[in-house]
Structure 1
Amino acid sequence: MSDEPVDDREVEGPTEPREGPDGRPPAAADGETPSLETDGEGVVGDRHSPEPTYPDSDDDIGGISTPPDDEEMPLADHIEEMVLRLAVVLLFGAGGTAIGLLGASQAIEYVWFSVFPAGGNAPPPHLYNPLELWLTRIKISSLLGIMVALPAFVYECYLFMRPGLYPNERKYYLAAVPTSVVLAAGGMLFSYVLVLPILFEYFTYYAEGSAEIAYALGETFNLIITLTGFLAIVFQIPLFIMLAIMMGVTTRRWLAQKRLYFWAAFAGLSFMFTIDPTMMAPILVAVTMILLFEGTLLVLKWVGRE
């Protein structure tokens, strides 16, 4: 071993980087890569990073924004407003029903002789319990009450939902609701003018020569009201298809490719909600639903909407 002293530079440990007056390492010379202090996972030399900022809740971020008239309200206020608007609708419905009771007997007679075959062959109605006539009067009057309350219901629903709707949603709503009312009226008229006369003509003559049918007033009007209301809903099919295509939920081409599935669904719904042992009413309703579906697709193809 040499006795010569070792150079001081050989025994000195690694020099620590000097810090500047601000606590940071000195800047590197020109052309050199600055040395960064790390902890093995990332750079930690700069400890003075600014605090993260978050956007305001009312800003439009990625297309998500609040409606212009949307305001936060306590739940109790929402419930109170909803109850008041429903009370207005019920008031209109009760008023229409009360007015309908004044001419309920004449309305029953008019409907009865309209849906049965013409030529004076309409069978007389039969009563099988003491309250059947009064219950039938209330049912036929309720139809007028529903017709009066429906526009009020639509308008009150719009006023209740308006603050939470975007401008384009308001446009769709205002366009769809009157169309829905018109289609419902068309479905009821279609039932009264075409479906019910065909159905009761079949009922009257299918047992001719074998038995005499005695029509109960209450059961007959139950079928009339059920079928009329169901066809009012069925006539909404074109509107549902148009809205689904306009909102990008589906396409006309896809609906056309899956038409057999829709036909089967229409048949199932008609047999489920139109109870008739002779199977005549469900068949008429199913055929009507299929024709509305195919007619809507044909119109969409004609206007070039795929």
Structure 2
Amino acid sequence: MCERDNLEAWSRQGGFDWAMNRRRFVAAGALGALAACAPRAEEDAGGLIEERVSVPSPDGTIDAFFVAPARGQHPAVLTWPDIAGLREAFKVMARRLAAQGHAVLVVNPYYRAMAAPQFADFAAFRAQGGFEKVGPWRAALTPDAVMRDATAAVAWLDARDEVDSGRGVGTNGYCMGGPFTVYSAAAVPGRVRAAASLHGGGLVREDDPQSPHRLLDATRAAYLFAIAQNDDAQEPEAKTVLRAAAQAAGVPAQVEVYPADHGWTVIDSPAYDSAAAERAWAAMSALFARL
């Protein structure tokens, strides 16, 4: 899980250059200049459109980033960022996913407290006392609250011209956003058909009746649970519980421990591992290709 011991370990590794990670990431996705300078919503160059949007939810208005191919209709993907929130790194990753043929909505999970970005990047999160700042914001993200937001986000996506509402919706989540993918699938089981949790925390909480593993039988999605090696070392039983819960629920689930540390798929994370990140991206892409 994305907790203080991980940040302390990353600090001991020294500095990191997420701009370099970004360049490697977009190069691996063969997006080149498109990812670095995508056309805005008012432009149509046959590539991508993107815009900052407002999504009405029962708890307020969610500010979010939307990006999609400029032409045609495409299956939607709802993205839940990690603990540092919606920022440039997640826009870059959303553009790559959109270029693969998806309409992607990256929500600000902390909209109840303030608009995004709360932090420019993960280095800023670390330098500015991120855990202290987000603590009360995270407290508001109960399973029920996330499910309300997911329901609102899916409805917003289905109303967009860029979205093919006849196909399923995918969702991906990172770090604290990992369990939100299961909540999303449980909130809108008729629409969410694929969910990818990337180094998600809190997927198995035995004393919680709303633990994500207990909600799988309320969903109709196929799953990818990509687990960090250090998270697995702390909770080695979680992968077994997840596999058993998915089997009991009758939902397909790929549960795999990756040889990389928590945060390895996020391009501005000090733990970013390009080789392992590309493996996880390929698995997620294959999952979403079936929407």
TM tier relative to shorter chain: under 0.3
Q: TM-score, normalised by structure 2?
A: 0.28
Structure number with the higher helix fraction is: 1
Structure number with the higher strand fraction is: 2
Whose radius of gyration is greater, 1 or 2?
A: 1
